[in-house]
């Protein structure tokens, strides 16, 4: 792009916009200018114009898109709206960031990717948990061969929240809702980053809470079968998990294992109002609960104390730093949209597997998905 600072419009003004996107625009003000926010129904206690008085506000996306000064649009609305809004933005020659999940179906994602390609626009998806501290550490362990050939990986997003949540779009049976789209998209994406597409997938979607809508899953267990490398990846989320420390990763290889408890600290820090450009952002207040075990002289020993320098704070801000370089200098986007489409296809196969009660081949064509 010819401009030094990228004018950004954010569509939506809920949790996603306020916590996961706008703070990074403000922290990277030399690269991004929070130029506009689209909020259809501002309220006295939720008004973008009051929170950001120097930012233009619009009540319709169509009106915002008529402004030629806007370069980049961030879509933070509900998943069911992602396809139509993203298509509209691309048609108005805007670069686009889409909050996860990309779209409810891989077919919709593919159409958007092709439209962006035709118009030579950047299209990327906010898979921010690629920059969780525990996942970045696991990526380094894998790249350095510390664990050897990995044969089993468990990745969890478990919480003890047995009560029904308050009514919101997440509790309504809309396209792209449910735990598999909300949390599964992160966990499956992390496995995909490490190992690529699996050969087969087995999905079990369910509702652990009583009294909720049965068609909206609040929990899942997914098996990703990598037959060629003899790896089984288990992806799980639960809302009934009364544990003082929740398992996050358990990875076992021929040379060692990695065990990690509790979630990355960046989301609670952002919700507490911490700015992502503060020096301590991404650093956990308490020592991280993890263990690395490996074989030394024929004995299995813990080596995490010797690897503390390898543990780096989480870095969601890296998504937008990479995006700034992408737009300014033509570097690769932070998340490849085609990879994000593959994740949506896997989620569709998980749902189909759960419905049919059978394991499905990823390589085969499935009429209801493809």
Give the model confidence (pLDDT) of 109-151 as tens digits: 999 999 999 999 999 999 999 999 999 999 999 999 999 999 9
**Nearest residue to 337 via CA among 186, 113, 131:** 113
The answer on pLDDT for 105 being more than 90 is yes
Given this model, what pLDDT does residue 316 score?
97
Which pLDDT tens digit goes with each residue over 146-178?
Answer: 999 999 999 999 999 999 888 777 878 899 999
Q: For the purposes of burial, counting CB atoms within 10 Å of the CB of 62, is it exposed (0-12), middle (13-18) or buried (19 or more)? A: exposed
Between 77-91, 298-312, 338-352, the lowest mean confidence (pLDDT) is in 298-312
Question: Three-state secondary structure along 54-107?
Answer: CCEEECCHHHHHCCCCCCEEEECCCHHHHHHHHHHHHHCCCEEEEECCCCCCHH
Angle at 267 between CA 277 and CA 171, to 5 degrees: 145
pLDDT digits over 263-283, tens only?
Answer: 999 999 999 999 999 999 999
Q: Supply the DSSP symbol for 308.
A: G
293-316 average pLDDT score: 85
Distance of CA 264 to the CA centre of its chain: 13
Q: How many distinct helices (H) and strands (E) make up the chain? A: 12, 15
Residues in the chain: 370
* pLDDT for position 164: 87
Output the pLDDT for position 167: 78
Instruction: Give pLDDT, residue 210.
Output: 87
pTM, two decimals, is: 0.94
Instruction: Give the DSSP H/E element, type plus range, for residue 266.
Output: helix 266-271
Greater model confidence, 260 or 285: 260
- What pLDDT was estimated at residue 136? 97
User: Would you say 61 and 38 are in contact if contact means Cβ atoms under 8 Å apart?
Assistant: yes
Quote the tokens at residue 225: 């079968």
The fraction of the chain above a pLDDT of 90, given in percent, is 85
Average pLDDT, the chain: 94
pLDDT of amino acid 2: 47
Q: pLDDT of 180-228, one tens digit each?
A: 999 999 999 999 999 999 999 999 999 999 887 777 899 999 999 999 9
pLDDT class for 310, splitting at 50, 70, 90? Answer: confident
- pLDDT given for residue 3 in this prediction: 55
Question: Tokens 């499956």 correspond to what residue?
Answer: 188
pLDDT score for 340 = 98
Q: Is the pLDDT of residue 337 over 70?
A: yes
């Amino acid at each position: 792009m010819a401009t030094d600072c990228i004018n950004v419009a954010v569509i939506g003004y809920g949790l996603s916009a306020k916590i996961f996107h706008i703070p990074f625009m403000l922290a990277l003000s030399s690269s991004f200018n929070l130029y506009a926010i689209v909020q259809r129904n501002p309220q006295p206690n939720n008004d973008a114009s009051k929170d950001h008085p120097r930012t233009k506000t619009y009540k319709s996306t169509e009106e915002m898109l008529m402004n030629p000064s806007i370069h980049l649009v961030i879509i933070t609305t509900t998943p069911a709206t992602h396809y139509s809004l993203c298509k509209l933005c691309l048609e108005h020659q805007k670069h686009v960031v889409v909050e996860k999940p990309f779209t409810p179906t891989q077919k919709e994602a593919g159409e958007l990717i092709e439209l962006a390609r035709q118009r030579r626009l950047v299209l990327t998806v906010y898979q921010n948990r690629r920059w969780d501290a525990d996942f970045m550490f696991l990526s380094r362990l894998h790249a350095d061969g510390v664990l050897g050939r990995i044969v089993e990986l468990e990745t969890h997003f478990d919480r003890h929240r047995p009560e029904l949540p308050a009514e919101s779009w997440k509790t309504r049976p809309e396209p792209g809702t449910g735990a598999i789209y909300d949390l599964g998209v992160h966990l499956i994406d992390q496995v995909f980053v490490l190992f690529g597409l699996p050969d087969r997938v087995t999905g079990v979607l369910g509702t652990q809470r009583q009294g909720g809508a049965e068609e909206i899953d609040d929990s899942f267990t997914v098996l990703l079968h990598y037959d060629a490398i003899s790896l089984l990846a288990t992806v799980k989320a639960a809302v009934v998990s009364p544990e003082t420390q929740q398992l996050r990763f358990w990875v076992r290889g021929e040379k060692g294992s990695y065990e990690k408890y509790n979630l990355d600290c960046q989301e609670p820090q952002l919700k507490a109002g911490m700015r992502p450009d503060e020096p301590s952002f991404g650093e956990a207040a308490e020592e991280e609960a993890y263990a690395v075990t490996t074989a030394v002289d024929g004995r299995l020993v813990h080596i995490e104390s010797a690897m503390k320098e390898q543990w780096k704070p989480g870095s969601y801000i890296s998504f937008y730093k990479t995006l700034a370089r992408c737009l300014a200098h033509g570097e690769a986007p932070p998340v490849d949209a085609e990879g994000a489409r593959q994740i949506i296809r896997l989620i569709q196969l998980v749902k189909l597997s759960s419905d049919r009660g059978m394991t499905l081949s990823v390589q085969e064509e499935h009429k209801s998905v493809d």
